Amino acid sequence: MNTPRTTESAKDRPARLTVGVVGAGRVGPALAAALQLAGHRPVAASGVSDASRHRAETLLPGVPLVEPDEVLARAELVLLTVPDDVLPGLVSGLAATGAVRPGQLLVHTSGRYGTSVLDPALRAGALPLALHPAMTFTGTSVDVQRLVGCSFGVTAPQQLRLAAEALVVEMGGEPEWIEEEARPLYHAALAIGANHLVTLVAQSMELLSAAGVEAPGRMLGPLLGAALDNALRSGDQALTGPVSRGDAGTVAAHVEVLRRHSPQAVASYVAMARATADRALAGGMLKPELAEALLDVLAEGGSR
């Protein structure tokens, strides 16, 4: 386990809330462990698969694994860390069976939803919070330390805003307020940045291996690190490469070689090149007289 973030031992601080986890995937146990470092006391967790039960036992040793309704019976603060598509049914089911108690804090970690998905629990008297960590999780103790400085998308009733933000700070995170109606857009933005990045990097590594590069990760690491840093600092002005320069011949060669060696990569290359061309053109980096030939190449490449 990781050590507490301050010199004060967690055992020296009084436990303020009992914490339960419904859905011991990669996120829930890590958040509960972070709350434990802040002085709260995990008391129950639920998990179905062997992997989820192992994560709970590793990150929350000694915490019993029980059914979801029993988690709610034991905890004052309940983390609902289940997949997005499962969350509405879970909340409705827990509320319908009377498992939700008045005054109980129910926290979900879905990026897609705000607090309206918790309305059935709200009608039962629960206090609804949406706290989404903008972080990718491994399901190991490393995640607890990664929460330090991590932004959380926070949505809550106005009267609970301070409580929601305080919980985020206790986990080491940085609260970022997201309005209820903006949650889907917020989540889509994160998916574009994080999820698609993994796909692009993995694809690039495969292609480098096919080109004979023995250590694709070592080659890409400095390049991608610099590109990410530049993009975060400068946005579209950080664009480089043949698309932003309007090198239609180079792009045509890329499409042709991908079609021969990795046809499954052509669609993503063309789609990202089109998006890059649009942004480079709008930002004044791609000259209009060069854009026409480039877009013709991409149109032809995407239609074959």
Residue 186 · residue 153 · CB < 8 Å: yes
At 1, the pLDDT band (50, 70, 90 cuts) reads very low
At 4, the pLDDT band (50, 70, 90 cuts) reads very low
Judge whether residue 183 has pLDDT over 70. yes
At 23, the pLDDT band (50, 70, 90 cuts) reads very high
pLDDT tens across 96-150, in order? 999 999 999 999 999 999 999 999 999 999 999 999 999 999 999 999 999 999 9
pLDDT value of position 304: 64
At 218, the pLDDT band (50, 70, 90 cuts) reads very high
- The residue-averaged pLDDT of 188-195 equals 94
pLDDT value of position 50: 87
pLDDT tens across 254-292, in order? 999 999 999 999 999 999 999 999 999 999 999 999 999
At 48, the pLDDT band (50, 70, 90 cuts) reads confident
- The residue-averaged pLDDT of 8-25 equals 72
Judge whether residue 53 has pLDDT over 90. no
At 10, the pLDDT band (50, 70, 90 cuts) reads very low
Judge whether residue 3 has pLDDT over 80. no
C-alpha angle 152-131-95 in degrees, rounded to nearest 5: 175
- The residue-averaged pLDDT of 219-228 equals 97
Q: How far is CA 47 from CA 26, 51, 113, in A?
A: 11, 9, 22
Residue 163 · residue 156 · CB < 8 Å: yes
Kindly give the pairing relationship between strand 18-22 and strand 41-46.
Answer: parallel
- 41 by DSSP, 3-state: which? strand
Going by C-beta distance under 8 Å and a sequence separation of 6 or more, which residues neighbour residue 48? none
C-alpha angle 85-87-93 in degrees, rounded to nearest 5: 125
d(CA 84, CA 90): 10
